[in-house]
Protein backbone atom coordinates (compact mmCIF):
# COMPACT_ATOMS: atom_id res chain seq x y z
CA UNK A 1 0.00 0.00 0.00
CA UNK A 2 2.73 2.48 0.85
CA UNK A 3 4.50 1.74 -2.47
CA UNK A 4 1.30 2.65 -4.35
CA UNK A 5 1.05 5.95 -2.49
CA UNK A 6 4.65 6.82 -3.40
CA UNK A 7 3.99 6.20 -7.12
CA UNK A 8 0.79 8.26 -7.17
CA UNK A 9 2.13 11.11 -5.08
CA UNK A 10 0.49 14.47 -5.42
CA UNK A 11 2.38 17.17 -7.34
CA UNK A 12 2.86 20.19 -5.11
CA UNK A 13 0.96 23.33 -6.12
CA UNK A 14 4.21 25.30 -6.12
CA UNK A 15 5.59 23.13 -8.91
CA UNK A 16 2.44 23.49 -10.99
CA UNK A 17 2.27 27.24 -10.42
CA UNK A 18 5.93 27.68 -11.39
CA UNK A 19 5.59 25.73 -14.64
CA UNK A 20 2.48 27.45 -16.03
CA UNK A 21 3.98 30.96 -16.32
CA UNK A 22 7.19 29.54 -17.77
CA UNK A 23 5.26 27.75 -20.52
CA UNK A 24 3.28 30.91 -21.26
CA UNK A 25 6.49 32.95 -21.35
CA UNK A 26 8.15 30.56 -23.80
CA UNK A 27 5.08 30.54 -26.05
CA UNK A 28 4.85 34.33 -25.90
CA UNK A 29 8.54 34.74 -26.73
CA UNK A 30 8.20 32.46 -29.75
CA UNK A 31 5.13 34.38 -30.92
CA UNK A 32 6.90 37.72 -30.49
CA UNK A 33 9.93 36.46 -32.42
CA UNK A 34 7.75 35.36 -35.33
CA UNK A 35 5.86 38.65 -35.35
CA UNK A 36 9.10 40.62 -35.06
CA UNK A 37 10.59 38.83 -38.06
CA UNK A 38 7.43 39.55 -40.04
CA UNK A 39 7.51 43.25 -39.13
CA UNK A 40 11.19 43.56 -40.09
CA UNK A 41 10.47 41.99 -43.50
CA UNK A 42 7.54 44.37 -44.04
CA UNK A 43 9.67 47.40 -43.15
CA UNK A 44 12.52 46.39 -45.46
CA UNK A 45 10.03 45.64 -48.23
CA UNK A 46 8.47 49.07 -47.83
CA UNK A 47 11.91 50.71 -47.92
CA UNK A 48 12.80 48.87 -51.13
CA UNK A 49 9.50 49.90 -52.74
CA UNK A 50 10.08 53.52 -51.73
CA UNK A 51 13.62 53.39 -53.14
CA UNK A 52 12.32 52.07 -56.48
CA UNK A 53 9.66 54.78 -56.58
CA UNK A 54 12.32 57.41 -55.83
CA UNK A 55 14.58 56.09 -58.62
CA UNK A 56 11.72 56.20 -61.12
CA UNK A 57 10.74 59.70 -59.98
CA UNK A 58 14.34 60.95 -60.23
CA UNK A 59 14.60 59.66 -63.82
CA UNK A 60 11.57 61.74 -64.80
CA UNK A 61 12.91 64.84 -63.03
CA UNK A 62 16.32 64.62 -64.77
CA UNK A 63 14.82 64.42 -68.28
Give the pLDDT of residue 49. Answer: 98
CA angle 6, 7, 13 (to 5 degrees): 80
| Residue 12 placed within a domain | no
List the domain range (segments joined by +) for residue 34.
Answer: 24-63
| Residue 2 placed within a domain | no
| Residue 7 placed within a domain | no
Inter-CA distances, 61 with 12, 44, 50, 54, Å: 74, 25, 16, 10
| Residue 5 placed within a domain | no
| Residue 16 placed within a domain | no
Tally the domains of the chain. 1
| Residue 36 placed within a domain | yes
**Could you give the dihedral angle defined by the CA atoms of residues 31, 37, 40 and 44, in that order, rounded to the nearest 10 degrees?**
-150
| Residue 15 placed within a domain | no
For 35, residues 6+ apart whose C-beta sits below 8 A from its C-beta are none
CA angle 17, 20, 25 (to 5 degrees): 130
Give per-residue pLDDT as tens, 14-54: 666 777 778 888 889 989 999 999 999 999 999 999 999 99
Amino acid sequence: MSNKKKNNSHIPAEAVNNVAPQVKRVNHEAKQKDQGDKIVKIIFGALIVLAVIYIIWSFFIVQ
